[in-house]
Amino acid sequence: MSHIVKSRLTQAQLDAHWMAYTGNRQFKKDPRIIVSAEGRYYTDLDGRKIFDGLSGLWTCGLGHSVPSINEAVANQVKTLDYSPAFQFGHEKSFLLAEKISEFMPSGLNRIFFTGSGSESVDTALKVARAYWRKKGMGTKTKFIGRAKGYHGAGISGFSVGGIPANRTLYGQGLESYHLPHTQVPGSEFSKGMADIGKERADELLNLITMHDASNIAAVIVEPMSGSGGVIIPPKGYLQRLREICDQHNILLIFDEVITAFGRMGAQTGSEAFGVIPDAITMAKQVTNGVIPMGAVAFKQEIYDTFMDNGGPDYMLEIPHGYTYSAHPIACAAGLASLEEIKQQNLIARVKDMSPVWENCVHQLRDANPIITDIRNYGFAAGITIAPVDGEPSKRPFQIAMSMWDKGYYVRYGADTIQLAPPFATEKAEMDSLINALGDSLQEQNQ
Ligand SMILES: Cc1ncc(COP(=O)(O)O)c(C=O)c1O
């Protein structure tokens, strides 16, 4: 379908913006321009309403243009638009840190603010190395990530990340090794957590044998991998990782940039899957995507280690941070967003509605033989599409474009379509999203 108004921009204006994680040449031939958003819908240049099937980029679980967040941001801009992040403070960062701790598992109550998920990952990894050095174990510097993991676009993130396309162009990164992913043959079409695959955690023992725990700082995994294709941990898998990390004195970091604050029908992935890590990275939903912000929650013992070994008290305990750490406008947006999640009782709603979502997405299987796997948890789903012409990412791209034409925004990445509707999505909206997706899948057979 060709849109009535492709763009009001000139070709030169389109060319001036080198777009992130976008096929720039294709986009600029056929721009998909969003002009506004409200509730669970975008509006494009043609005035079409488009359902937000990924809550922005896993950011906007509350939907768009939430009055309390808008108001908090507007008031904050008028009162304190910026405040130096180093050596001076403003009240809202402390209030937000306390509020974030209430969402974190018990003991993860020391919050370091960043500007994004990538910076949160960088922060967690730097703190892990520095922590061991402070404890007199400075050889513990290597990191273990996981195949298909995504930990942001920084050099540290791509190093521990395990999506091949994100790594191949960039040469050497941090010294990192990778666990296998947990999409185990035989677990396809599992609803929620698969019964098989836990043993893949034992690969950590082999990596420890190879590199020795005295050289390993931390293991970092997403409790549920989002960008890698919505990969749900098998039953017992995260527990086994925790056990091995404990036995070998290795920190366990959960990258919860997608899973924190409700997406799993729990406050965190840690709560959903019943495993408490040593640090949790977060971003996205903390401000409902309205203003960039990230954070890392650390166990108190990690924080105390820096405080107890910080030298004279006018000295920095850790020389680390960002100009936009704890930005006052982001803090105002964060306070309003987390309050809204609580007030609307949305985490319980996601949990209660998850079985409805699960049934809905798994219905796609029967009519669509090109689907090779469907995975789901909370308000998230990943659908794997069989490759065509030896190109795994071609069909997901075509399907996502067809969905856009039908009035639905979904994410495509590698061989998957990813779905993550806003937390208050109604059953009728789920049905219409999945029906449209069924139609777009059928077009692949024609
Ligand atoms: C698990 C995870 N970690 C880190 C990031 C990077 O976050 P950002 O894009 O805000 O830097 C993402 C982004 O999707 C993510 O999903």
* 327 contacts: CB under 8 Å, gap ≥ 6: 82, 85, 113, 115, 291, 293
Ligand 1 atom closest to the Cα of residue 121 is: 4
Q: Whose CA is nearest to atom 6 of ligand 1?
A: 152
Q: pLDDT 10s digit of each residue in the chain, 446 long? A: 555 666 789 999 999 999 999 999 999 999 999 999 999 999 999 999 999 999 999 999 999 999 999 999 999 999 999 999 999 999 999 999 999 999 999 999 999 999 999 999 999 999 999 999 999 999 999 999 999 999 999 999 999 999 999 999 999 999 999 999 999 999 999 999 999 999 999 999 999 999 999 999 999 999 999 999 999 999 999 999 999 999 999 999 999 999 999 999 999 999 999 999 999 999 999 999 999 999 999 999 999 999 999 999 999 999 999 999 999 999 999 999 999 999 999 999 999 999 999 999 999 998 899 999 999 999 999 999 999 988 999 999 999 999 999 999 999 998 999 999 999 999 999 999 999 999 999 999 87
Distance (angstroms) between ligand 1 centre and the Cα of 55 equals 14
Q: How many CA atoms lie within 13 A of 40 on its CB side?
A: 18
Greatest C-alpha distance within the chain: 72
Ligand 1 contacts (CB < 6 A) are 116-118, 121, 150-153, 222, 226-227, 255, 257-258, 283
| pLDDT digit string, tens, across residues 13-59 | 999 999 999 999 999 999 999 999 999 999 999 999 999 999 999 99
Collapsing DSSP to helix, strand or coil, 329 comes out as: helix
257 Cα to the center of ligand 1, angstroms: 6
**Which pTM does this prediction carry?**
0.98
Tokens describing residue 420: 């993550």
| pLDDT single digits (tens) 240-266 | 999 999 999 999 999 999 999 999 999
CA dihedral 182, 183, 186, 190 (to 10 degrees): 100
Q: What are the beta bridge partners of residue 388? A: 391
Residue 282 Cα to ligand 1 middle (Å) = 8
Q: What does the CA dihedral 291, 292, 298, 300 come to, rounded to 10 degrees?
A: -40
The whole-angstrom separation of Cα 107 and Cα 328 is: 26
Secondary element (H or E) of residue 123: helix 117-134
Burial of 313: CB neighbours in 10 Å, binned 0-12, 13-18, 19+? exposed
Rounded Cα–Cα distance for residues 275 and 53 (Å): 29
Domains, in order of start, for the chain:
32-62+345-443 (3.90.1150.10), 68-343 (3.40.640.10)
Q: Which atom of ligand 1 is nearest to the CA of 57?
A: 14
Distance 227 CA to ligand 1 centre (A): 8
Q: Which residues contact 343 (CB under 8 A, 6 or more apart)?
A: none
272 alpha carbon – ligand 1 mean position (Å): 19
